[in-house]
A and B are shown apart, each in its own frame.
Chain A
Amino acid sequence: MIKDVQFGEETKVEKGTLYVNKEKIKEMVLEDKRLIKADVELARPGESVRIAPVKDVIEPRVKVEGNGQVFPGIINKVKTVGEGRTHALVGSNVVTCGKIVGFQEGLIDMSGPTAKYTPFSKTNNVCVVIEGREDLETHEYEEAGRLAGLKVAAYIGEAGKKVEPNEIVTYETKPLLEQVAEYPDLPKVGYVHMLQSQGLLHDTYYYGVDAKVMVPTFMYPTEMMDGAIVSGNCVAPCDKVTTFHHFNNPVIEDLYERHGKDINFIGVVLTNENVWLMDKERSSDMTAKLCRHLGLDGVIITEEGYGNPDTDLMMNCQKVAQEDIDVVLITDEFPGRDGKSQSVADTVPEADALVSCGNGNVIEYFPPMDKVIGTLDYIETMIGGYEGSLKEDGSIEAEIQIIIASTIANGYNTLAAKGY
């Protein structure tokens, strides 16, 4: 458990404090010739600090036992992960930020009234501020930023290799037939995990494969804990499933919690959210087919993003329910600033059990902070911002969808909405 972060000559963990070597990190980031400037700044819980525009948040982790390394197929050789032992520097994160790629990046306040909306106000953050070459094309810039964050997180993660953990948690899913046989009397439950794949700048990677060119597949939940899935940058900030959230998927954790007691958690069906109708039809057909094939009695479905992916969410819900499987959906809501419009863009009658992660259109006041890591130059054009959002004193008035993972639709937070 990391309680503090400091700069130091050596990157290491000592008595709950994470020390990071600033120069080493800068050097590592600048190995990528697409990036011309890099800086490292620290942000701790309770400080008067605002970080923007945030691209991704990544928990430092390292494989201690078992096959492969973190982020297989991306920065390490491709190899099936999810077995053995992994150390996580819980309480610390790498945050990538810097000049905006495309409206979708968000902000993190480390203190003040809006800090409560994001889990990253409670962690000790190593912020990597990057600047790309002037002539760099957006997709290249996005990739350079993404890889920089993953590299730095893996590097810091190494420091956790020899640390004696405060807590060891064991998660186990057996091969299908064994898993079914282990708890024959408990209902078989699966998790349909929809990955954002609407296109360039709205992507997710599974063992290095772009989710929009894959077909739905089945995976062990533990693979995610080793970084089999990483976030591409740029999704509406409030909805962003950061790489941290892929490591720490709350649905997986909470299903394991009841595993062997009330349910038999069988595994994860991974699917995508493509923009073409043919892809939506194919992926939702295959998702329902896999759920049936696995003999599931119930599933939880989560989405990433809002609007267009609501269609995928509803198609998955309907088709899985038609296989006689009980379905619960998790989503966030966008009913407008007055809360009076419809919260989702699509509906099906089968969507009769839904958990809300809050209304992202609500306007909040963000008081000025002593320090800004990154820049506030883009606030008014970022998602959730608008003309006049940024005040002269550095305070901001914006919809809470501008905050990273504030209404994340996988149920990580306690924020919810109800009808008044």
Chain B
Amino acid sequence: MSKIKVVHYINNFFANIGGEEKADVPPEIREGKIGPGLALESSLGEEYEIVATAICGDSYFGENIEEAKETLMGMIEKYDPDLFVAGPAFNAGRYGTACGTMAKEVEEKLNIPVITGMYSENPGVDLFKQDIHIIETSISAAGMRKAMKKIADLGDKMVKEEEILSPQEEGYFERGIRVNYFNDVRGSKRAVDMLIKKMKKEEYNTEYPMPVFDRVDPMPAIKDLSKIKVALVTSGGVVPQGNPDKIESSSATKYGIYDISNLESMKKDDFMTIHGGYDRAFVTENPNLVVPLDVMREYEEEGVIGELADYFVTTTGTGTSVGNAKGFGEEFSKKLVEDGVGAVLLTST
């Protein structure tokens, strides 16, 4: 039986090329295992074989990220690996970033399990823990054997598609991914227990530490609206009758862009709302309540605004994840800019 193929990524130092003076070596790949690969292969066991080791100098990688990434990908791809292991990088910051970058890239391009290891204060942890599994290691290479054992155990599970347990059980950094499970005790009872502990000043663990939101600073005020092209954007779920793009009534995965160039107002025979989070009765009667085309046409006529864009952009806000919403915004705002839109009237519900 052929063995499960592993490609391992390490830096100049662990490849025995040299220390800081050799940190500028460009990407290369060698067949078989090198340095820490020995510990990795023995931890993985007989089923596995490290078919190649990819190497790059840390400063070379840092200074030429895009090029190094592409070159290394080309080299790695040729070995058609089943598992990709990077590092571990311990507390080496540049090395950690390189390991994280390559692991993320390999997962995206080859769709195979990837894993790396770092010390908790390595900057690579915060940069990549949400994207990939990073095993928590000691501060230095003295902890190599222990780290490789955990990397191998988790890597083996990933390859065999076995259930991956919690961060505490497997030893990786929490990725911030919320996963369902059935607790032994119902939520209300856990809340009462938590409250009693909190009142007694005993230690308790919140089940969801508060997330951090990236706040967007408002742009400076527009000086002269009369020369600006304005576009209407809404999360109120107004779509053409029949919802041609089948945008969801909640947890939207898409948005729509619809033509209004020949319209003076939003007629109820032409538009509807599919939003699942508010009482739609009034907007069903008058879609201008959410997409105020009627008023904007008056403003256009009066010269209050320069002109109105030929289309409006729409999605459902209710239950839509921040990740999806951010993705939509990044995508359609490019079109808005291309089309010369200088301001957006964003309506929610």
Taking Cβ atoms with an 8 Å cutoff, the residues of A that contact B are: 102-104, 116, 137-139, 187, 189, 198-202, 236, 250-251, 253-255, 257-258, 262-263, 297-300, 306-308, 326, 328-331, 333-344, 347-349, 351-362, 380-387, 399-401, 410-420
* Docked pose: A295 CA to B321 CA in angstroms: 39
* Docked pose: A227 CA to B198 CA in angstroms: 32
List residues of chain A with CB within 8 A of the CB of B209: 419
B19 at the interface (CB under 8 A from A): no
Shortest distance from the beta carbon of B195 to any chain A beta carbon, whole Å? 4
- Cβ B250 vs Cβ A383 within 8 A: yes
Chain B 231-270 interface 0/1 with A at a Cβ cutoff of 8 Å (1 = within): 0000000000000001011110100000000000000000
- Cβ A338 vs Cβ B206 within 8 A: no
**Which of B179, B195, B213, B248 contacts A347 (CB under 8 A)?**
B213
A330-B188 CB under 8 A given contacts A307-B277, A401-B319:
yes
By Cβ-Cβ distance, the 7 closest A-B pairs, closest first, are A411-B187, A336-B321, A411-B188, A387-B246, A250-B188, A341-B321, A342-B211
Binds A, one of B71-79, B134-142, B154-162, B170-178: B170-178
List residues of chain B with CB within 8 A of the CB of A298: 195-196, 198-199
List residues of chain B with CB within 8 A of the CB of A326: 195, 198-199
- Cβ B175 vs Cβ A253 within 8 A: no
Shortest distance from the beta carbon of B342 to any chain A beta carbon, whole Å? 29
Binds A, one of B95-103, B222-230, B278-286: B278-286
**Which of B167, B210, B279 contacts A199 (CB under 8 A)?**
B279
List residues of chain A with CB within 8 A of the CB of B198: 298, 326, 328, 353
- Cβ B185 vs Cβ A199 within 8 A: no
Residue among A201, A334, A382 with max Cβ neighbours from chain B (10 Å): A334
Shortest distance from the beta carbon of B201 to any chain A beta carbon, whole Å? 9
User: In the complex, what residue of chain B is closest to A350 when comparing beta carbons?
Assistant: B210
- Cβ B180 vs Cβ A386 within 8 A: no
B345 at the interface (CB under 8 A from A): no
User: In the complex, what residue of chain B is closest to A351 when comparing beta carbons?
Assistant: B210
- Cβ A300 vs Cβ B250 within 8 A: no
- Cβ B319 vs Cβ A258 within 8 A: no
* Docked pose: A250 CA to B211 CA in angstroms: 27
* Docked pose: A326 CA to B249 CA in angstroms: 37
- Cβ B178 vs Cβ A343 within 8 A: yes
- Cβ B277 vs Cβ A236 within 8 A: yes
**Chain A to chain B contacts (Cβ below 8 Å), 16 pairs:** A103-B250, A199-B278, A257-B189, A328-B194, A329-B191, A330-B188, A333-B208, A339-B179, A340-B321, A355-B187, A356-B207, A358-B180, A360-B319, A415-B180, A419-B208, A420-B174
A386-B281 CB under 8 A given contacts A330-B188, A362-B180:
no
* Docked pose: A357 CA to B175 CA in angstroms: 20
- Cβ A381 vs Cβ B274 within 8 A: yes
List residues of chain A with CB within 8 A of the CB of B175: 419-420
A330-B187 CB under 8 A given contacts A354-B207, A359-B180, A418-B166:
yes
- Cβ A355 vs Cβ B190 within 8 A: yes
* Docked pose: A57 CA to B166 CA in angstroms: 36
Chain B 6-38 interface 0/1 with A at a Cβ cutoff of 8 Å (1 = within): 000000000000000000000000000000000
Shortest distance from the beta carbon of A262 to any chain B beta carbon, whole Å? 5
B184 at the interface (CB under 8 A from A): yes
* Docked pose: A269 CA to B191 CA in angstroms: 17
List residues of chain A with CB within 8 A of the CB of B248: 385-387
B324 at the interface (CB under 8 A from A): yes
- Main SS at interface, chain B: loop
- Cβ A419 vs Cβ B176 within 8 A: yes
List residues of chain B with CB within 8 A of the CB of A251: 188, 191-192
List residues of chain B with CB within 8 A of the CB of A137: 281
* Docked pose: A75 CA to B274 CA in angstroms: 33
**Which of A308, A357, A387 contacts B277 (CB under 8 A)?**
A308
List residues of chain B with CB within 8 A of the CB of A336: 251, 321-324
List residues of chain B with CB within 8 A of the CB of A386: 246, 248, 251, 253
List residues of chain B with CB within 8 A of the CB of A139: 281
B2 at the interface (CB under 8 A from A): no
List residues of chain A with CB within 8 A of the CB of B164: 420
List residues of chain B with CB within 8 A of the CB of A339: 177-179
- Cβ B199 vs Cβ A138 within 8 A: no
* Docked pose: A139 CA to B281 CA in angstroms: 9
* Docked pose: A189 CA to B199 CA in angstroms: 10
- Cβ B192 vs Cβ A300 within 8 A: yes
**Which of B174, B195, B276, B324 contacts A383 (CB under 8 A)?**
B276
- Cβ B213 vs Cβ A342 within 8 A: yes
List residues of chain A with CB within 8 A of the CB of B317: 307
A416-B180 CB under 8 A given contacts A199-B279, A342-B213:
yes
Residue among A300, A349, A384, A416 with max Cβ neighbours from chain B (10 Å): A416
* Docked pose: A411 CA to B204 CA in angstroms: 18
Shortest distance from the beta carbon of B207 to any chain A beta carbon, whole Å? 4
List residues of chain A with CB within 8 A of the CB of B191: 251, 254, 300, 328-330, 355, 411
* Docked pose: A198 CA to B279 CA in angstroms: 9
Shortest distance from the beta carbon of B208 to any chain A beta carbon, whole Å? 5
A418-B179 CB under 8 A given contacts A104-B276, A356-B187, A411-B186:
yes
Residue among B187, B198, B281 with max Cβ neighbours from chain A (10 Å): B187
B318 at the interface (CB under 8 A from A): yes
- Cβ B178 vs Cβ A418 within 8 A: yes
- Cβ A236 vs Cβ B166 within 8 A: no
* Docked pose: A347 CA to B323 CA in angstroms: 17
Residue among A351, A355, A387 with max Cβ neighbours from chain B (10 Å): A355
